[in-house]
Amino acid sequence: MRDEIEQYRRCDVRPFGVNPASAERHADYAARLKLPFPLLSDAGLRISRSYGAVRPDGSAIARSVCLVDRDGTVHYSQSGAPGADLSQSPAIQYSIAGWLGQALQHVFAPIGFNWQISIALVPGLAAREVAVGALGTVYSMSAAGGEVAAALSPVIAQGWSLATAFSLLAWYVFAPQCISTLVVVRRETNSWRYPVLMATYLFVLAYAAAFITYRVTLWLGG
């Protein structure tokens, strides 16, 4: 919308951006990208739900476009970006990794994880810090090394709710994130029983912690 702002103005249309990020994050993001239209904070997703711009499970905002006149009548509504097609979407979304992430999203949607986070969890099993680089790849970041985290910050601020961020933190507190540890346990015990029990216990504990964190944060308005 930024690049087509003059076309909107000629049609007497005033664009607004709405998502769950805080007003402070909106201000920073708008300043970085020099956005010529306001961003509105919808922390509890109340506005988004009223326009049907949320995921089927109601857990997070779904990218949508609505045309509303001054008396509140909705004249047009569409899920996704206008005219969206494969060429305008991240290539990884249509790769094997993308399909895997979208499949895993059905499992992780109750704890607020989107398909991008779901993909990052897989290489993150090797080590927690690998997940940051994986997210940078999924979100098509051109930065490298320590710059990836800085480049991810505004993207995450705009695309993730506070509940999702807290849920991911809770996940990484408990989930097994070093497969080599399980391999060592297998070698020392000469059995797969204990590594499997450890992994199962930690994954279940991580999922439960993330679920509780996500739902409580949503209930509190995050």
What sign does the dihedral 169-28-137-146 (CA atoms) show?
Answer: negative
The confidence score (pLDDT) of residue 89 equals 47
**What burial class does residue 153 get, using C-beta atoms within 10 Å of its C-beta: 0-12 exposed, 13-18 middle, 19+ buried?**
middle
Q: How far apart are CA 71 and CA 88, in angstroms?
A: 33
Is 18 in a helix, a strand, or coil?
Answer: strand
The confidence score (pLDDT) of residue 117 equals 85
Write out residues in the chain with pLDDT < 70, as ranges. Answer: 1-2, 56-59, 75, 77-98, 127, 139-152, 155, 158, 222
The confidence score (pLDDT) of residue 95 equals 64
Q: For residue 185, what are its two tokens?
A: 């346990």
Q: How far apart are CA 70 and CA 8, in angstroms?
A: 15
Give one DSSP letter per residue of 177-193, joined into a string: --HHHHHHHHHHHTSSH
The confidence score (pLDDT) of residue 150 equals 66
Tell me, letter by letter, the H, E, C secondary structure of 189-219. Answer: HCCCHHHHHHHHHHHHHHHHHHHHHHHHHHH
Kindly report the average pLDDT of the chain as a whole number.
77
Rg, the chain, Cα only: 20
The single-letter DSSP state of residue 170 is H
The confidence score (pLDDT) of residue 148 equals 59
Residue/partner pairs of 96-104 with CB below 8 Å, 24 or more apart: 97/138, 101/138
The confidence score (pLDDT) of residue 166 equals 92
Superfamily of the domain at 12-79: Glutaredoxin (3.40.30.10)
Contact 165/218 with Cβ under 8 angstroms?
A: no
The confidence score (pLDDT) of residue 24 equals 84
The confidence score (pLDDT) of residue 205 equals 94
Phi and psi for 202 in degrees, rounded to 5?
-70, -40
- The CB-side HSE value for 43 (13 A sphere, CA atoms) comes to 11
Domain boundaries along the sequence of the chain: 12-79, 90-219
Q: How far apart are CA 167 and CA 18, in angstroms?
A: 22
